[in-house]
Homo-oligomer: A and B are copies of this chain.
Amino acid sequence: MPAMAQKNYAQDSTTIKKIYDNALTSYESYENLRYLTKQIGARLSGSPQAAAAVEWSRQVMEKMNLDTVYLQEVMVPHWVRGDKEIGRVTNSKLLGTVDMNIVALGASVGTGKQGLSAEVVEVKSFEELEKLGKKKVKGKIVFFNRPFDNTHITTGAAYSDAVDQRGGGPVAAAKLGAVGVLVRSMTNDIQEVAHTGNTRYEDGVEKIPAAAISTKHAEQLSSLLKEDPNLKFYMRMTSEMLPDVLSYNVIGEIRGTEKPDEIIVVGGHLDSWDIGEGAHDDGTGCMQSIEVLRLFNDLGIKPKRTVRAVLFMNEENGLRGGRKYAELAKANGEKHVAAIESDAGGFTPRGFGLDGTKEQLQAVLAWEPLLAPYGLHDIAPGYGGADIGPLKGQGSVALIGFKPDSQRYFDYHHTVIDTFEQVNRREMQLGAASMASLVYLISEYGLNGSTAKVQK
């Protein structure tokens, strides 16, 4: 091992220890999350709370004595849920009337104030739906009930396998003449709460109302249908899409001392669904991103490259913030070295997934001896994140997804129980320190070329 590399290793190891020590003994970021979740709360794009979150997080960063804090204008969809949804089996032979927990899917049209009542046809896949054909689907509510495959070790893999039902269900069902859609909630567990999330329509295909049903009630509905295939389901939703609203990405940065034009983004999304408090999704990611800047400031770390925290707007139902950010980065000729996103919950860190070149992956893997003492063992090719996705292909930017432990994420994801109480301060702060440590290493060495390699 060359002497220089050895010296670097010792210095870097010391810096990273300082980052963790500080993060684990500070309550500031956790208290910021408390404010965001408890004082502002849910903050769907276009809502007054989303505007409050923009202004509050701008103020938080303004107080931090950064080099720059600014907003980036972006027009966002403005969908509103309306009244609390009603879901009900009205005439089951076995149980008569049974209320069931449903939540409208984002972008969904409403049912009209009278609601909608129809027979239900259950399917597990689009293939099964196609086979049924128009004759058996027309006039009915299609119930997509394929559960998570719980044998996946990471829950995100189970989500990826199942979420086509939520996104593509309404169009596929409407093409066969269905009048409504129920989708089994996207979760590993059998729960009372229903999980919202966005759906899609297509031009030329009728927009039919679509809701998620709790897994507990999905199981019950499936059982009742076996006894009584002609039961009727009543659903009432007054959701609607309103005109687009002006909103913002919120950005703060520390300029690099040696290569200020080389930018490292660290970010999460500031918007959330309109139920719950958007704590794990993605309050923690945003507060962690701001925390990276705080840690650099408090520890007097002057990054060689520019470190920029970006709180993206509208990840949940449009990705307008991510797209706008990439568009402006390109228009302004900015050079992004790396973009790191935290949007998988504020849980104990496990590692990073990297969407980039082999050389970039090797550079991060070479830092494993510095990161493993903090439980960051899982460094592998992987998904970066939705918000940073549009940056892909701009120069040689590496897209990096922060990977926390995934087991509990879909217990809370997109529900009324995604609240501050579900976040553990240490787990969240370990995540912030993990992100800060990787940002620090990239700011020192970049991700391309031999300078990136540091060996123990």
Contact = CB atoms under 8 A, between A and B. Distances in A.
Nearest to A22: B151
Contacts of A21: 151
A348 B411 contact: no
A20 interface: yes
A426 B189 CA distance: 9
A206 interface: no
Quickly give the copy total for this chain.
2
Given A188-B426, A348-B348, A407-B430, A377 B374 contact: no
B378 A375 contact: yes
A199 to B, nearest CB: 27
Given A348-B405, A375-B378, A425 B153 contact: no
A151 B407 contact: no
Nearest to A25: B150
A77 to B, nearest CB: 34
Contacts of A153: 20, 373-375, 430
A373 B153 CA distance: 8
Interface in A347-392: 348, 350, 373-375, 377-378
A123 interface: no
A350 B375 contact: yes
A299 to B, nearest CB: 14
Interface string A19-46: 0110011000000000000000000000
A12 interface: no
A7 interface: no
A219 interface: no
Contacts of A430: 153, 407
Contacts of A411: 424
Contact of A24 (B150, B373, B377, B378): B150
A437 to B, nearest CB: 12
A408 interface: yes
A427 interface: yes
Interface in A411-428: 411, 424-427
Contact of A408 (B155, B189, B427): B427
A427 B150 CA distance: 12
B151 A24 contact: yes
Contact of A407 (B377, B407, B424): B424
The 9 residue pairs across chains A and B that have the minimum distance between CB atoms: A377-B377, A21-B151, A24-B150, A407-B426, A407-B427, A348-B405, A348-B407, A24-B151, A25-B150
Interface of A: 20-21, 24-25, 150-151, 153, 155, 188-189, 348, 350, 373-375, 377-378, 405, 407-408, 411, 424-427, 430
Given A20-B151, A20-B153, 6 more contacts: A21-B151, A24-B150, A153-B375, A153-B430, A348-B407, A377-B377
26 contacts: A20-B151, A20-B153, A21-B151, A24-B151, A25-B150, A25-B151, A150-B426, A153-B373, A153-B374, A153-B375, A153-B430, A155-B426, A188-B426, A189-B425, A348-B348, A350-B375, A375-B378, A377-B377, A377-B378, A405-B405, A407-B424, A407-B426, A408-B424, A408-B426, A408-B427, A411-B424
